Amino acid sequence: MYLVLGRQNCTFCDKAKELLEFDGLDYVYVDIMDKPELKDILVEQINVRTVPQVFKLVGGYDHLKVSLDGE
């Protein structure tokens, strides 16, 4: 599962979603303009100023442990 943070009228956001759909991958899209707290986190805490930002969701602790053990 992927998390796509983007905004309306963003060509690259649309392309990211299309790519995930083309590959048959599940994703959740969040428009950061509707979630100002996410925008603040991206800019102020992660120092990211562009969208889309795409994150692969690992899951809970058990999923994280399996993921890290496989490396």
- Which domains, from first to last, does the chain contain? 2-69 (3.40.30.10)
Under 8 Å between Cβ of 6 and 51: yes
Under 8 Å between Cβ of 39 and 32: yes
Question: Which pLDDT tens digits describe the chain residue by residue (71 residues)?
Answer: 999 999 999 999 999 999 999 999 999 999 999 998 988 889 898 899 999 999 999 999 999 999 898 76
> Residue 54 in 3-state DSSP?
strand
Say what the pTM is: 0.84
**Phi and psi at residue 62, to the nearest 5°:** -60, -40
Degrees, nearest 5: CA angle 57-66-59: 25
Q: Which of 8, 6, 11 is nearest to 48 (CA)?
A: 6
